[in-house]
Amino acid sequence: MKTSNQEFEINSAPQELDTARGLSLSRYVSVLFAVVTILLMTGRLVLNHVQLGHFSRVIVMVAAANIISINLYFFAYYLTAFKKGNWAGRFIILAFLISLFSVQAYRVSQYGLDPLTIASFTAELIPIGLASVLDGSALMFTTTVIINIATAVIIFIIGGKNAQFSYLVYGAYAINFAVDWLIAMLVFLASTLYNRALLEVGALKQAYERSVQLEKLKDQFITHVNHELRTPIMTMQGTIEFLGEARDSLPESAQNDLIQQARRNAQRLVDLLNSILDARQIERRVATMETEPAHALTLAKAAVEIIDPLQERGIQITGDSHIFAMGQKTAILQILTNYLSNAVKYSPAGAPIAIFITKVSAPEHRRGRRKAEQVVFSVQDGGPGVPPNQIPLLFNRFVRLEHHLASNIPGNGLGLYLSKILAESMDGSVGVESPAADGAGSIFWLKLPAAQVADDEDTAPRPAIAQIVSN
């Protein structure tokens, strides 16, 4: 089953390809059409001057329209530099229609509906195709309607009253009308098939990228498991072998110390296995998680008491006592303890650690609705920070950063993954902000919908606390 993020990536990939293609095409078409318009306009002016010995009023008006078109072409080219592909396409279509209709109006007024003039109406198919390629189906159908109306005006009004009683004129217009819409429908079908093909290409691209990413995660997982399992196993093995060989010569206190060391390593292995099982259990039960108003400040204090009961790290909490989040209290507490556990592990002694609770407004997608409010829990640490290129992988299963793997800090790479699963089950989200500078620390945040409760409502967290799985 695809997640919403995966579906967005698959849908956005072909859109990015289509946008890049549209910008490139708009750039070339605008320059090409501008050059062609300049050449045709120059040719008409020269021919008109040779025939009449001066420029007629009508040809001057046509030239003025072409000059407007040329400026619109260059403006469209200017828009492509700012990646405004849709607007560039619209100005290209507008420029082409102005130039085309001015020439058609000129020929009809001067020569009537001769075969060459009727043949010129086939050029109206060009903007129909361009509208579909450069912008989309909506502009293509709008362009087709504009062409039909403009053609009727040119033929029946500019062409003269006598042309209205000619069956040839009616037939030519009917054929032109039918051909325009036939081409529009064919282009629409072709565009639909093309977009479908782009979606398939985008899906294949995302599948390939994900396969590469999964291969990296698999390698990282193998490295991580080797790091996490080998150390306690080798320590237990060495301890047991040494205890067996030197048991008679060791005092009882030393033997007890070695036994306790073996027990600690055995417990470390058990904790790792329990964490993996807990991850599977949480994945199954989050779908049925029920939410309720939760007092944000109370949960933050409870998390601090769990992680730092003796207040040795001096974790600061900043937040309004009237802020309530809509969520599952035990799940929120587990996420906060995961964040704080990581902050304590990765921050050097004396580095500040703080929790900030704020309420922000999140814009709704629907128009006319009030902005939804969200509660943001932010845990700021003084650790080494997270490299920007590794942030997208941080909330996946069994992921630990390279410098964490090289350190002696224990972890199983599940805490942040479980935090993400729990947050999404409460209609929330998680993330991290980390400066590029090494040692500048990180801010891990949790966003949940805000809740409005009465002053006398019970907001204390439930006494049962889920098992804390730290990263």
Paired strand residues for 445: 378, 431
For residue 300, pLDDT beyond 90: yes
Instruction: Collect contacts of 389-393 with beta carbons under 8 A, ≥24 apart.
Output: 391/432, 391/434, 393/213, 393/217
In a domain, 458, yes or no: no
Q: Which long-range contacts (CB under 8 A, 24 or more apart) does 451-459 make?
A: 451/292, 451/293, 451/294, 451/324, 451/325, 451/326, 452/293, 452/324, 453/293, 453/324, 457/293, 459/293, 459/294, 459/295, 459/298, 459/324
Which residue segment(s) compose the domain that 310 sits in? 286-449
Query: Which of 145, 179, 208 delimits the end of a domain?
Result: 208
Say if 401 falls within a structural domain.
Answer: yes
Between CA 429 and CA 231 the distance in angstroms is 34
Closest by CA position to 76, among listed 38, 14, 32: 32
Burial of 11 (0-12, 13-18, 19+ CB in 10 A): middle
Highest mean pLDDT among 63-72, 260-269, 360-369: 63-72
Q: Which of 154, 173, 208 is the last residue of a domain?
A: 208
Residue 279 confidence class, pLDDT cut points 50, 70, 90:
low
Of 223, 119, 125, 219, nearest to 172 by C-alpha is 119
For the chain, the average pLDDT equals 76
What pLDDT, on the 0 to 100 scale, is given for residue 291? 84
| 61 has pLDDT over 90 | no
Residue predicted with more confidence, 278 or 80: 80
- 261 occurs within a structural domain: no
DSSP class per residue in 122-152: GGGHHHHHHHHHHT-HHHHHHHHHHHHHHHH
**Residue where the block lists tokens 């704020």:** 358
Is it the case that residue 405 has pLDDT exceeding 60?
Answer: no
Alpha helices (H) along 295-363: 296-307, 329-346
Q: Work out the average pLDDT over 375-388.
A: 86
Domain boundary among 172, 187, 208: 208
Co-location of 26 and 175 in the same domain: yes
Q: How far apart are CA 27 and CA 331, in angstroms?
A: 53
* Cα-to-chain-centroid distance, residue 255: 58
Q: What is the mean pLDDT of residues 365-372?
A: 53
Determine the 3-state secondary structure of 430 from DSSP: strand
CATH number of the domain residue 377 falls in? 3.30.565.10
Positive or negative, the CA dihedral 181, 183, 185, 187 is negative
Residue at 233 is within a domain: no
CA atoms of 378 and 386, how far apart (whole Å): 16
Query: What total of structural domains would you count in the chain?
Result: 2
Do 306 and 443 lie in a common domain? yes
Residue 264 lies in a domain: no
Q: What's the mean pLDDT in 148-168?
A: 68
For residues 24 and 163, membership in a common domain is answered with yes
Least confident of 232-236, 257-261, 353-357, 405-409: 405-409
Are 309 and 203 part of one and the same domain? no
Q: Is residue 275 part of a domain?
A: no
Q: Does the structure show a pLDDT above 80 at 172? A: no
- 10 and 112 within one domain: yes
pLDDT tens-digit profile of 317-361?
999 889 999 998 888 998 998 899 888 888 888 888 999 999 988
| Neighbouring residues of 93: CB distance < 8 A, sequence distance ≥ 6 | 127, 130, 131, 134, 135, 139, 143
The mean per-residue pLDDT over the stretch 386-407 comes to: 65
pLDDT of the residue at 6: 43
Reduced to 3 states (helix: H, G, I; strand: E, B; else coil), residue 434 is: coil
| DSSP secondary structure letter of residue 365 | S
Say how far apart CA 379 and CA 398 lie, in whole Å: 21
